[in-house]
Amino acid sequence: MTEHFERHRQPWTPTEIAKLHQMATKGMSLKAICTNLKRSEESVKIRAKLDKLLIAKKR
C-alpha cells in the first residue's frame, strides 16, 4: 500500500516553511518532520536543501 500525502505536488506555504525551519532547528528527524507537515521525505529534503537547512539523522 502506498502512502498518501495531503500536500502532494502543491507549493509550499510560508507557514509550512516556517514550521520546517523551526523543526529543523529543534533537531527533529526527517520522518517526524514529514509526518507533521504531511509531506513526502523527498519533498522535505528538497525544501531543506533550498533553504540550506540541516535535518537531523536517525539515531
Asked whether residue 4 is assigned to any structural domain, the reply reads no
Contact criterion met (CB below 8 Å) for 3 and 39:
no
At residue 56, the 3 state secondary structure works out as strand
- What's the one-letter identity of residue 52? K
Tell me: the pLDDT tens digits for 7-49? 667 899 999 999 999 999 999 999 999 999 999 999 999 999 9
Asked whether residue 1 is assigned to any structural domain, the reply reads no
Q: What are phi and psi of 56, to 5 degrees?
A: -60, 140
The rounded distance, in Å, linking the Cα atoms of 8 and 35 is: 13
Q: What are phi and psi of 29, to 5 degrees?
A: -75, 160
Asked whether residue 2 is assigned to any structural domain, the reply reads no
- What's the one-letter identity of residue 53? L
Whole-prediction pTM: 0.82
Domain extent, residue 46, equals: 14-50
Total of domains in the chain: 1
